[in-house]
A = this chain, B = another copy of it.
Amino acid sequence: MPNPETEQFVERMGVALERLSLPRTFGRLFGLLMVADRPLSLAEIARQLQVSKASVSTNARLCEQIGLARRVGRRGDRRDFYEIEPGGFERMMARRVGVVHEMAGLAAEGLAVVGDEPSPARDRLTEMLDFYLFMGEEVEALLERWREMRDES
């Protein structure tokens, strides 16, 4: 690791992404790639993070799958190199909008479960449905606005 500040940054990213129920090593890997000045190989990542290459392999692939990083090649080299994929954050957030839709769906299901007559339960579920419909809609609009801002600048 270059310097202590970098190490601290990487470590903080580890605990930060852990709160989103991602593996600690995943966060560290992501943090390392964020401050790297060039694509890194699996072996190099393993060395810098002091974890097994097996762990790096799975986490790097997960990172790629989520859309936060990508695998790049190098001429005359058989190894895989990883670097941050631009726009990964919006992709990550777009994915989280999925759970918002799921919550809306659950609220609708709840409304089907309770009776048609007015009741506190109906009110609660209606509030839940409205809230998640609203948020799903608006956050997607926000993402769209962000993309436009990015594209035109």
Q: A47 contacts the other chain (Cβ, under 8 Å)?
A: no
> Which of B35, B87, B90, B135 interacts with A113 by CB under 8 Å?
B35
Question: What is the copy number of this chain in the assembly?
Answer: 2
Contact A37 B120 (CB under 8 A): yes
Contact A34 B127 (CB under 8 A): no
Contact sample, A vs B, 27 pairs, CB 8 Å cutoff: A5-B113, A9-B106, A9-B110, A9-B113, A12-B106, A13-B106, A19-B21, A19-B99, A20-B21, A34-B110, A35-B113, A37-B120, A37-B121, A84-B124, A86-B124, A89-B127, A89-B132, A90-B131, A131-B146, A134-B146, A134-B149, A135-B142, A138-B142, A138-B145, A139-B139, A139-B142, A142-B142
